[in-house]
């Protein structure tokens, strides 16, 4: 006669771990013990909006610029996010401060120019600031409100300017003139153009382009660093601008 075997039940336990997305916090519902959710805040347990009592909406986070709203940078000079302890003479971008009345400090979650480009991680990598080309560039710092989904932003303007020599002019596109001529919006080549002369500006006691020379006075070129005066007039010369092989805007 066969003997019947009795089996004891064996229990198994499976552990399920809830993983919340970035910038959120794993929390337990206050009304239901053992029921979990992902908070919309990385620092404070805020239940989903459908469980919040009706009432006025929460205020948005605020962004405040660190440093000036407009920064001037010389052509070809480096401009990037400031390190933690920048030298005093270092030109860099200090970013912004971000605060929320409920969540507190949100500065680490600020993006620069593009979504996901965290300023404190990648700096200005998502921005199009090219210091090899003169012009205006915008750095837009942005933060999305976790409760409403609205985007809060703040802008800094970076002006890249070419350093001009004493004899050249600052043009409207932030570049320097060439032989006294601004070639803004240059597209086509000019050929067979005669050179253009422009008298050097006169400084000092004489501010006119008409030189009055006493009879018998030896009139010669001004020496370096000197300017004509009534007692000792001298010649300041002129600038020659040759437009051949330069570029200029289409007519």
Output the six-digit token pair for 187.
């597209």
Convert the pLDDT of each residue in 1-21 to its tens digit: 556 666 676 676 676 666 777
Rg (CA), the chain: 34
Taking the domain 62-161, which CATH number applies? 2.60.40.10
Q: For a pLDDT cut of 70, what percent of the chain falls above it?
A: 63
The domain limits of the chain are 16-54, 62-161
Question: Which of 55, 129, 117, 126 has the alpha carbon at shortest distance from 92?
Answer: 129
Q: What's the pLDDT score for residue 23? A: 63
Sheet holding 96-100, edge to edge: 62-65, 96-100, 104-105
* pLDDT above 70 (res 128): yes
Token pair for residue 206?
A: 């004489």
Query: Average of pLDDT values for 30-45?
Result: 64
pLDDT in the model for residue 101: 85
Choice between 205 and 62, residue whose per-residue pLDDT is larger: 62
Average pLDDT score, the chain = 76
Q: Which of 92, 117, 96 is nearest to 105 (CA)?
A: 96
């Amino acid at each position: 006669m066969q003997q019947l075997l009795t089996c004891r039940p064996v229990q198994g336990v499976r552990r399920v771990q809830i993983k919340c997305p970035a910038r959120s916090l794993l929390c337990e519902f206050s009304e239901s013990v053992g029921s979990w959710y992902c908070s919309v805040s990385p620092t404070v347990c805020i239940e989903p909006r459908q469980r919040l009592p009706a009432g006025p909406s929460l205020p948005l986070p605020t962004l405040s610029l660190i440093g000036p709203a407009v920064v001037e940078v010389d052509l070809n000079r480096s401009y990037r996010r400031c390190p933690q302890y920048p030298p005093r003479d270092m030109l860099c971008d200090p970013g912004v401060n971000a605060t929320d009345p409920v969540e507190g400090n949100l500065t680490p979650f600020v993006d620069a120019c593009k979504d996901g480009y965290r300023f404190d991680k990648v700096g200005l990598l998502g921005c199009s600031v090219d210091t090899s080309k003169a012009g205006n560039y915008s750095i837009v710092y942005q933060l999305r409100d976790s409760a409403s989904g609205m985007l809060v932003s703040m802008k800094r303007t970076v002006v890249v300017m070419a350093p001009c020599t004493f004899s050249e002019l600052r043009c409207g596109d932030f570049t320097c003139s060439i032989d006294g001529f601004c070639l803004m919006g240059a597209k086509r080549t000019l050929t067979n153009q005669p050179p253009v002369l422009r008298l050097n500006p006169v400084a000092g006691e004489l501010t006119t382009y008409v030189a009055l020379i006493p009879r018998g006075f030896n009139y010669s070129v001004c020496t370096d660093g000197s300017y004509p005066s009534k007692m000792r007039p001298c010649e300041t010369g002129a600038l020659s601008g040759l437009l051949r092989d330069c570029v200029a805007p289409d007519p």
